[in-house]
Amino acid sequence: SALSAAHEFVDPAGKPHPIVHHDVSPGNVLLTADGHALLADLTAPATTAASPRGEAGSRFFGSLGYAAPEALRQEAQDGRADLFSLGAVLYEALAGAPAFEGDDERQVVFQVLEGKPVELARRVPDIAPDLAAVVQRCLERSRERRYQSAAELRAALSKCCQHLSAFRLEQRTAAVVREVLGSRIREKEEAMYLAFQRHAPSAFEHTDT
């Protein structure tokens, strides 16, 4: 949904101004304690499809192992580069291991440009075939063979998860986040509560917050 909104962004004048993220990677996908997923770092250096940094010959911005082949080749990019990156994130989330691995950066780059990830079904034998196929299509080296829009990818993922309501998915995600980070979340919540307690209510009466 976040990528769809970015790729279909329209400026205040009503002119299409698609934003390409250029660094969809695990570190930029944030999970809240309520089970929501947020996409961070949309202010990456190469922010728009039409910017000079998005043209061929631009410097590489992104995370190795998640960047699309065209990004590594420093070619012009559009939203389909982000879909490749999201595919790599989904692969790792499902398999518990990166799609593209190597002993050093050169090997990782080679794997993205010339290699092929281990089939998800081999890493996760009980994975639903339709979900594995969605991830595989995201990771096609040719952008013409990938999903052509974030909206199309979202529809495909929704079909894979149609037996699960969004509420149940968020509940399960929230449970995992709280299991892993429960004590740290409680510490932050207590610190915020104490900070508010130190200020009289009148201090906030005339604000817009």
As a whole number of angstroms, the distance between CA 145 and CA 121 comes to 21
Closest to 31 measured CA to CA, from 146, 169, 127 = 169
- Helix, coil or strand: residue 37: strand
- 110 neighbors 104 (Cβ within 8 angstroms): no
Cα distance between residue 127 and residue 96, in whole Å: 13
Catalytic residue among 23, 34, 78, 130: 23
Q: Give the total residue count for the chain.
A: 209
208 is an active site residue: no
63-to-11, 14, 50, 140, 177 alpha-carbon distances in Å? 28, 32, 21, 18, 24
Residues with a catalytic annotation lie at 23
